[in-house]
Amino acid sequence: MVKSQNLLTEVESKALLKKAGIPIVEAKLARSKKEAISISNEMGFPVVLKISSTDVVHKSDSGGVKLGLANATQAGKAYSEILSSIKRAYPQAQIDGVSVQPMAAPGVEVIVGMSKDPQFGPVLMFGLGGILVEVLKDVSFRIVPVTARDAKAMIREIKGYPVLEGYRGQKPASIPALEKLIVKVSQFVEKNPQIRELDLNPIFAYSDKAVAVDARIILE
Amino acid sequence: MFEEKIEEFEPIFYPKSIAVIGASTTSIKAGSVWVWALKTAGFPGSIYPVGSKSGCIADLEIFPNLRLIFGEVDYVIVAIPRQSVLELLDDCVAKNVKAVQFFTAGFSEMDAQQGYRLEQQMLEKARRGNLRIIGPNCIGVYCPEHKIPFPLVKLGESGSVGFISQSGGIAAKLVTIGIARHINYSKVVSFGNGIDLDAGDFLQYLAADPKTETIGAYFEGTRDGVSLFNIIKEVARSKPLVVWKGGRTEAGAQAATSHTGSLASSAAVWSAMLKQAGAIEVHNLEELTDTLLIFQQLKCLQGTRAAVIGGLADGGGGNSVAAGDACMENGLKVPPLSPETKRKLGELLGEVGSILRNPVDVSQAQFRGLETLFQSIDLVARDTAIDVILIQEDIDILLPIYAWKGLEEINDFFIELGSRQNKPIIVVLPHGSAESERMQIEQKLLAASVPVFCSMERAAKAIYNINQYSCWQEARQRKL
């Protein structure tokens, strides 16, 4: 069981990742409705609001996530709704506030994660996001440090690789951007041995770049 | 790379003298078995049996104690109960022994606390006395060049394949399969619990050993994954390294823990590690020996475009289709032959009853004589769209048509073609009712460096594996 103090919030996780040069959709913490609106205005609409609490495990199932908020009124309303549904679902939860971030345009969903193997130490995982990773376990692994060549091979190893190349008229995902991201994540976990697990899920891959939309870091 | 290992391991693989602890006049004791094995194999150095009861074994006097041996002792094989091993190590240090191999079992693999503690005490004594330990719980070293056998296993010919194994049973099995299939070893090592010298050390040695060209390994687990990963990476750069990881399933993993006292880690991470390090992963004993065999016979193979000759006489149709499937399913390509080759084949064999695409059915040659058969195969082998030639040879069909003499001519032709062409000729000899003739042909081909397999699937898998190594080497060199 993960103790909640070892789990960094999305805002904290993303701040660390950004410092390491890993592309993320930046998220800021709002502690009040007023703050949520002003951050939203600053970022530009549409925005996404998410509950920020390490006690809340399933954010979207409990009404803790509101997507595609088009203006200040919607953002403000979303803030209040999130807080009240979380208080209902998790009465004991300690709540930091609500994270605010720009709504990313849809891309090919992929996942990059890190866990520690008892014999080989930190291991990176790559896969397509959503159902493919959960049901089909279509993922590949490499041991840290992961070189550019390793990253290239691990992306091509998954069965769903043609999806990234742009299947049936879908826009292709930038493979070089994903390779670069994987290598950066490897360098990041190598420099930070106190990180026990890491999830960039989902990452949205576009034809010219790849950006982590959600992130969580668990410390030792 | 790792050149310092050569000198360091000299007393292990090329000792001038070996003492066997636990020998007696009764031949069923493990120590006695070892003495007899060394003697029978013709070990060129001195053999000193050591045991509590005086007498003789294999015309050698049994010494009551290691310290009472007059000459120098390089290497010691130990087959006595674990209660006596610490005292024995003191004797070894006093006698200035270089390396000790413990057949003795019952350490960390059996008893995590007490066994582990005993191993640590052994290690401490060895470090202080400047001597190396192999095992415990292992059958140690097999070095045909220096006539060191495994107990109860015949000594095979000396060759170019090195093999290391956590398990003694698998090490011995590799040797016996090797004798049957002409896989000839430079060295085989079973290192058991590997408390001192372990997988990494032996891999480094084999990488440096000039006698070893291909390396195979059987692992169940490792105590230091990161170090093993880095060593495999280095070793695979200089020589092909074929790895079978046991304990991939949970049932297998449980057996592994109780077997050699090491933790089995998840199969996916092991596979990733091997791929990343440039090793070739195989999944069972057949694939392991097939892959070692093809490396030994061919050294390297570039390209996976196979010409498949499904039948030499009758019954080629269905076999050709099945053979084509087997190749494609195992990652090979079976491209159509060039129009030129097709045309010439048609002239030689006639269109009726032949399949001239690929797989090729040359069975019509039976009506035109062996020379036509040879010309047809030669044509296929010359096709520039082809990298490797796979021939299915069914002795049950050929024997009644061509008789033994014809069969010998056919196989002489394969050997000659294989040495003349720079494209490998690979022969598949399926089992059937003419087993003794089949085995004779297999031996003949193997001895002439032609790889032989008993099914298309196994041949195709081995070709895929050896080609993978070429691809990996090429990609690495491009990068440099």
pLDDT digits (tens, 9 = 90+) for B423-473: 999 999 999 999 999 999 999 999 999 999 999 999 999 999 999 999 888
Nearest Cα neighbor of A139 from A126, A130, A123, A156 is: A126
Domain ranges of chain A: 26-102, 108-219
For residue B70, what are the contacts with CB-CB under 8 A and spacing of at least 6? none
pLDDT band at B257 (very low <50, low <70, confident <90, very high): very low
Is residue B385 predicted with pLDDT exceeding 90? yes
Residues of A in contact with B265 (CB under 8 A): 117-120
Chain B closest-CA separation from residue A190 CA (Å): 13
Residues of A in contact with B271 (CB under 8 A): 141
pLDDT band at B148 (very low <50, low <70, confident <90, very high): very high
- CB of B471 within 8 Å of a chain A CB? The answer is no
- CB of A142 within 8 Å of a chain B CB? The answer is yes
If you average pLDDT over every residue of chain A, what do you get?
91
- CB of B200 within 8 Å of a chain A CB? The answer is no
Bridge partners of A140? A126
CB contact under 8 A, A123 and B263: no
Nearest Cα neighbor of A67 from A84, A56, A81 is: A81
Q: Residue with structure tokens 């909640």? A: A4
Q: Determine how many CB atoms are found less than 10 A away from the CB of residue B29.
A: 17
CA A212 from centre of chain: 5
Angle between helices A33-43 and A72-89 (to 10 degrees): 130
Domains of chain B (ranges, CATH numbers) = 4-134 (3.40.50.720), 140-298 (3.40.50.261), 306-472 (3.40.50.261)
Nearest Cα neighbor of A8 from A65, A51, A54, A56 is: A54
Q: Among the listed ranges A122-136, A176-190, B167-181, B237-251, which one has the minimum average pLDDT value?
A: A122-136
Rounded distance between C-alpha atoms, residue B27 and residue B30, angstroms: 8
- CB of A143 within 8 Å of a chain B CB? The answer is yes
Q: Which residues of A75-102 are buried (b: 16+ CB within 10 A; e: fewer)?
A: bbebbeebbeebeeebeebebbbbbbbe
pLDDT band at A5 (very low <50, low <70, confident <90, very high): low
Q: Which chain A residue has the Cα nearest residue B229?
A: A120
| Structure tokens given for B118 | 């005993």
| B323 in Cβ contact with B454 (< 8 Å) | no
- CB of A119 within 8 Å of a chain B CB? The answer is yes
Residues of B in contact with A153 (CB under 8 A): 275-276
Q: For strand B17-21 and strand B75-78, is the pairing parallel, antiparallel, or unpaired?
A: parallel
- CB of A115 within 8 Å of a chain B CB? The answer is no
What pTM, to 2 d.p., does this model score?
0.91
CB contact under 8 A, A117 and B265: yes
| B334-382 confidence digits (pLDDT tens) | 999 999 999 999 999 887 767 788 998 888 888 888 999 999 999 999 9
- CB of B472 within 8 Å of a chain A CB? The answer is no
Is residue A1 predicted with pLDDT exceeding 70? no
| Structure tokens given for B97 | 């022994």
Rounded distance between C-alpha atoms, residue B239 and residue B135, angstroms: 25
Superfamily of domain A26-102: ATP-grasp fold, A domain (3.30.1490.20)
DSSP structural state of residue A213: S
Q: Which of A121, A141, A149 sits opposite B268 (nearest CB)?
A: A141
Share of chain B above pLDDT 70, in %: 95
- CB of A149 within 8 Å of a chain B CB? The answer is yes
Chain A closest-CA separation from residue B124 CA (Å): 24
Query: How high is the pLDDT of residue B81?
Result: 93
pLDDT band at B254 (very low <50, low <70, confident <90, very high): low
CATH 3.40.50.2000 at A108-219, yes or no: no
| Structure tokens given for B215 | 């390396």
If you average pLDDT over every residue of chain B, what do you get?
92
Chosen for mutation from A114, A115, A116, A120 (greatest number of chain B CBs closer than 10 Å) is A120
Query: Three-class SS of residue A109?
Result: strand
| B20-60 confidence digits (pLDDT tens) | 999 999 878 899 999 999 999 999 999 999 999 999 999 99
Chain B closest-CA separation from residue A41 CA (Å): 46
Residues of A in contact with B227 (CB under 8 A): none
Chain A closest-CA separation from residue B337 CA (Å): 30
Q: What is the biggest distance separating any 2 CA atoms in chain A, rounded to whole angstroms?
A: 53
Rounded distance between C-alpha atoms, residue B219 and residue B232, angstroms: 12
| B50-105 confidence digits (pLDDT tens) | 999 999 999 999 999 999 999 999 999 999 999 999 999 999 999 999 999 999 98
Is residue B235 predicted with pLDDT exceeding 80? yes
